[in-house]
Chains A and B, each alone.
Chain A
Amino acid sequence: MALIEIDNLSVTFTAQGRQVRAVEGVSLSVPARESYGLVGESGSGKSTILRAICGLAPVSAGTIRIGGEVLRHDKAFVRRVQMVFQDPYASLHPRHTLDRTLSEPLAIHGLGDADRRVMQALEAVGLPTSFRFRYPHQLSGGQRQRVAIARALMLEPEIVLLDEPTSALDASVQAEVLNLLSRLRDERGLTFLMVSHDLAVIDHMCDRVLVMQHGRAVEELTRDALAGAQMKTDYARSLFEASADRMMG
């Protein structure tokens, strides 16, 4: 049984009386400890799938199951599934210190020993513990994304949803954050569902990838099929060919 099972998911927004179908009939399943990528252009619905899992987007049809159970957005869900957002400048509370940001989930879930856990979390993501009482504006973009990752891991979830976690970062900082994510995944046996517009990042991190366009699934590729350019659809091929790293011999 797969850990994440999404069956025929549709998400429809109603804006000014007009219906916008952001996701239409997408199915996927991710076994525990696998990393699964969603790739596509802006507006393809890839982020909306992550948001639907978290209850941030309205599911209009289909089902989402986590560990075989139909999704319920309760406290238990939050302990199992956490999300890291794209923009670390926007996803951290600007007037909360790192200490407050990281200890809030512990307080909500009644977990003790906050002191030790916050220090451990900072160490785990490679931040000096002296940063504990800093504010987000005192950190660089890469450091902020480390805080966002630390926050996602405070409740020791099994599943981490990653929405373009490195696209706001410089290349060298992206490398550091990807390395951090890989290490944490191995150490803690995490399952990743990761969204990116960058095929090379998805290829580096994920075992399988779903190519999306206009809210629909176009093609699922294994990592080998992606590296070997064995895509069957024209759209997946055009994405592959437009990837910048393909152009450099």
Chain B
Amino acid sequence: MTLLSVENLRVTFDTEAGRVEAVRGVSFSLGRERLGIVGESGSGKTMTGRSVLRLIRPPGRIEADRMTFDGQDLMRLSEREMRALRGPRIAMVMQDPKYSLNPVLRVGDQLMEGLRQRDRLGRAAARAKAIAALEAVQIRDPERVMDAYPHELSGGMGQRVMIAMMLIPNPDLLIADEPTSALDVTVQAEVLRILDDLVRERGMGLIFISHDLRLVARFCDRVLVMYKGRVVEELAAADLLNARHPYTQGLLNCLPRIGGDRGPLPGLDRTAPWAQEA
């Protein structure tokens, strides 16, 4: 069943220096599965994720032939209808807890805000639900974390708090933008496992945005590879090592490997025909 379907998505910024096209004709569809979007900085992967929530501020402009979520046309919804969708139906986990949590509010108040405003829960009920959400992301001492300010948490804890916050309303689609890039490898593995369990248990769709091709291949079912605002290759994660596009191959080969020879690493040839055409 298709949850989200995007056809010919374009994101354009009209700046003083001229038009900048951040996303140029991206199409994909997503069921209740894990879709990875990979690319380097500036490839348009984050813009693609934000477009689904229509979270792009002017002068940025979103255009698409079609963008439907669960039968609703995202391009035609009013701002009020969009707001009803954000959070309860489609949620987004941002990259860096340092910048995405409110630094002057206690974690508990931030977690409970939605429950109190949207779901009209009483303080005690909201607190109980927030604590349950923190437990679901394996935070050992939820009471303490509830009363902590974001700066008192480590990066891994902050990231888990953000995931907990997004999962409280039980969304159908979760967009995770580099959710583990700021984390240590062992914490990263833990956060991925939590996300994986949630996708499986709750039957969520997941869009996992990352610059890390190998990580995405390991974690997702399907991968879109983006370069300069376009999808250059789409493939099943299991087939990644057989990628055909020179950009995908380049991204894979330029990473050092444990036990590899120590010769110069192959760089990306940005003057090659594929890069010029893009």
- Sample (16) of A-B pairs whose CB atoms are under 8 Å apart: A170-B211, A171-B255, A172-B267, A175-B256, A175-B265, A175-B268, A178-B256, A201-B256, A205-B262, A242-B186, A244-B218, A245-B214, A246-B258, A247-B217, A248-B218, A248-B241
- B258 contacts A175, CB within 8 Å? no
Number of interface residues of A (CB under 8 A): 36
Cα separation A215 to B268 with both chains bound (whole Å): 37
Tell me the bound Cα distance from A174 to B211 in angstroms: 12
Q: Is the CB of A203 within 8 A of B256?
A: yes
B254 close to A (CB within 8 Å): yes
Separation of A245 and B257 alpha carbons in the complex (Å): 6
B189 interface residue, CB < 8 Å from A? yes
Q: Is the CB of B214 within 8 A of A175?
A: no
Tell me whether B272 is interfacial, beta carbon within 8 Å.
no
**CB of A197 within 8 A of chain B?**
yes
The CA of A223 and the CA of B68, in the complex, are separated in Å by 52
Tell me if A107 counts as interface (CB < 8 A to partner B): no
CB < 8 Å: which of A175, A176, A197 contacts B185?
A197
Q: CA separation between A42 and B40, bound complex, in Å?
A: 24
Would you call the interface of chain A mostly helix, strand, loop, or mixed? helix
User: Among residues 235 to 253 in chain B, which have CB atoms less than 8 Å away from a CB atom of chain A?
Assistant: 240-241, 250-251
Q: Does A182 touch B at the CB level, under 8 Å?
A: yes
CB <8 Å contact, A171 and B254: yes
Give every chain B residue within 8 A of A170 (Cβ-Cβ).
Answer: 40-41, 211
Tell me if B185 and A242 are in contact (CB < 8 A). Answer: yes
**Neighbouring B residues of A13 by C-beta, 8 Å:** none
User: When the two chains form their complex, are residues B40 and A172 in contact, meaning their CB atoms are under 8 A apart?
Assistant: yes
**Residues of chain A lying within 8 A (CB to CB) of residue B184:** 41-42, 197
Ordered nearest first, which 10 A-B pairs have the shortest CB separation? A227-B259, A204-B256, A175-B265, A175-B254, A41-B184, A172-B268, A242-B185, A170-B40, A247-B218, A244-B214
Residues facing B in A45-88 (CB within 8 A) are: none
Closest A residue to B255 by CB, please name it.
A171
| B274 to A: closest C-beta gap in Å | 14
Using Cβ atoms and an 8 Å threshold, which residues of chain A touch B139? none
> Least Cβ distance of B261 to chain A in Å?
9
Q: Which residues of A contact B (CB under 8 A)?
A: 41-43, 141, 170-176, 178-179, 182-183, 197, 199-201, 203-205, 226-228, 238-240, 242-249
Residues of B close to A42: CB separation below 8 A: 154-155, 184
B215 at interface (Cβ–Cβ under 8 A)?
yes
B264 sits at the interface (CB 8 A): yes
B residues in contact with A226, CB < 8 Å = 258-259
CA distance A170 to B255 in the complex (A): 10
Give the complex CA separation of A170 and B250 in angstroms: 12
A174 → B minimal CB distance (Å) = 7
Q: Is the CB of A204 within 8 A of B265?
A: yes
Please report the C-alpha to C-alpha distance between residue A178 and residue B264 in the assembled complex, in whole angstroms: 8
- Residue of A at shortest CB range from B270? A172
Are B187 and A171 touching (Cβ within 8 A)? Answer: no
Give the residues in chain A near B214, CB-CB below 8 Å.
244-245, 247-248
Q: How far, in whole Å, are A249 and B241 apart by their CA atoms in the complex?
A: 9
Distance in angstroms from B184 CB to nearest chain A CB is 4
B residues contacting A by CB (< 8 A) are 40-41, 154-155, 184-189, 211-215, 217-218, 240-241, 250-251, 254-260, 262, 264-268
| Nearest Cβ on chain A to B79's Cβ, whole angstroms | 35
- Considering the complex, give the chain A residue whose CB is closest to the CB of B184: A41
The answer to whether residues A242 and B40 also contact, given A172-B251, A204-B260, A204-B262 and a CB cut-off of 8 A, is no
Bound together, the chains give a CA A43 to CA B156 distance in angstroms of 12
9 new A-B contacts, CB < 8 A, other than A170-B211, A200-B260, A242-B186, are: A141-B41, A171-B254, A171-B255, A173-B40, A174-B255, A175-B268, A179-B265, A245-B257, A247-B218
Enumerate chain A residues within 8 angstroms of B186, measured Cβ to Cβ.
41, 238-239, 242
Residues of chain A lying within 8 A (CB to CB) of residue B267: 172, 175-176, 179
Docked Cα-Cα span, A183 to B262, in Å, equals: 11
A176 to B268, CA, bound (A): 9
Given contacts A182-B264, A197-B185, A204-B265, contact A171 B258 (CB under 8 A): no
Q: What residues on B are CB-neighbors of A242 within 8 Å?
A: 185-186, 188-189
A171-B202 Cα distance, complex, nearest whole Å:
33
Q: Please tell me if the beta carbons of A203 and B241 are within 8 angstroms of each other in the complex.
A: no
What residues on B are CB-neighbors of A228 within 8 Å?
A: 259
How distant is the Cα of A244 from the Cα of B258 in the complex, in angstroms? 10
Contact among B213, B217, B254 with A174 in the assembled complex (CB-CB below 8 Å)? B254
Complex contact B185–A244 (CB within 8 A)? yes
Q: What is the CA–CA distance of A244 and B186 in the complex, to the nearest angstrom?
A: 10
Q: Which residues of B contact A172 (CB under 8 A)?
A: 40, 250-251, 254, 267-268
A205 to B256 Cα, complex, angstroms = 9
Bound form: Cα–Cα A141–B264 in Å:
20
Q: State the CA gap A243–B251 with chains docked (Å).
A: 17
Residues of A within 8 A of B218 (CB): 244, 247-248
